[in-house]
Amino acid sequence: MVDKALPAGVRYLPRFLDAQAQRDLVALIRDICRDAPLFTPVMPRTGKPFSVRMTNCGPLGWVSDRDGYRYQALHPQTGRPWPPIPAPLLDLWSGLADFPAPPEACLINWYGEGARMGLHKDSDEAEFAAPVLSVSLGDDARFRIGGVERKGPTLPLRLMSGDVLLMGNESRLAFHGIDRLYPGTSTLLDHGGRINLTLRRVNPA
Ligand code: MD6
Ligand code: FE
């Protein structure tokens, strides 16, 4: 579709995961959420809540609270380590990321109806040679990607269940966000909504 117009460094693999792979991933995510419950992050300083809920798996997890954005080894509410990254996600990374070390963090974002994600760049990592690998599950969403400056043109891309998107190289620090969801466009999740997984390398290999 708009593939050829995607910014350099972005790799978009529509429907990379088939229906069974998507269902298997959802079951694994549900297990993770039992151990590491979804929480509502808040913006640094203002304390304004995000409209998405989050959790993580992997040795490190991304969190946001009044003190700032950071990676940490423990769930902010349970104090326990995050559950491990499931094998199918590690395999996805080794097959696609073109990076010699495994991901250290998998951020799990859960979008209910009306949830969105403001324009941001993923820059809390200490290793930008690795891409960020994203997996979308559930309802469609309008993703928006621009350049490395906040101002400037952006391109919308409708992400669907099973889509994989990698932002590496020139696009690793590009601004991006989720404008909106399209409720009722997928039957993958019992109660609708969308899950986005982002696999990240945090520390140098
Ligand atoms: C989302 N994705 O799709 C939000 N970040 O819900 C991201 O923030 C993202 O898709 C880095 C790389 C790829 C992404
Ligand atoms: Fe992001």
DSSP code for 48: P
Which residue bears the tokens 């700032």? 68
Residues with Cβ within 8 Å of residue 20, at least 6 apart in sequence? none
Q: What are 142-198's pLDDT values in tens digits?
A: 999 999 999 989 999 999 999 999 999 999 999 999 999 999 999 999 999 999 999
CATH number at residue 67: 2.60.120.590
- Report the pLDDT value the prediction gives residue 49, as an integer from 0 to 100: 98
Task: Give the range of the structural domain holding residue 117, as residue numbers without chain letter.
Answer: 2-200
Residue type, 125: E
Per-residue pLDDT at 204 exceeds 60: yes
Establish if 49 belongs to a structural domain: yes
Of 134, 172, 182, best ligand 1 pocket probe by most atoms within 8 Å of the beta carbon? 134
Establish if 205 belongs to a structural domain: no
CA-nearest residue, atom 10 of ligand 1: 134
Q: What are 96-143's pLDDT values in tens digits?
A: 999 999 999 999 999 999 999 999 999 999 999 999 999 999 999 999
- Report the pLDDT value the prediction gives residue 5, as an integer from 0 to 100: 79
Number of structural domains the chain divides into: 1
Establish if 175 belongs to a structural domain: yes
The pTM of the full predicted model, rounded to 2 decimals, is: 0.96
CA-nearest residue, atom 13 of ligand 1: 134
Establish if 189 belongs to a structural domain: yes
Structure tokens at 145: 């990607």
65, burial (CB in 10 Å: exposed 0-12, middle 13-18, buried 19+)? middle
Which residue bears the tokens 């995050």? 82
Ligand 2 center to residue 81 CA distance, Å? 23
Q: What are 58-89's pLDDT values in tens digits?
A: 999 999 999 999 999 999 999 999 999 999 99
Ligand 2 center to residue 7 CA distance, Å? 15
| Residue 147 CA to its chain's centroid (Å) | 18
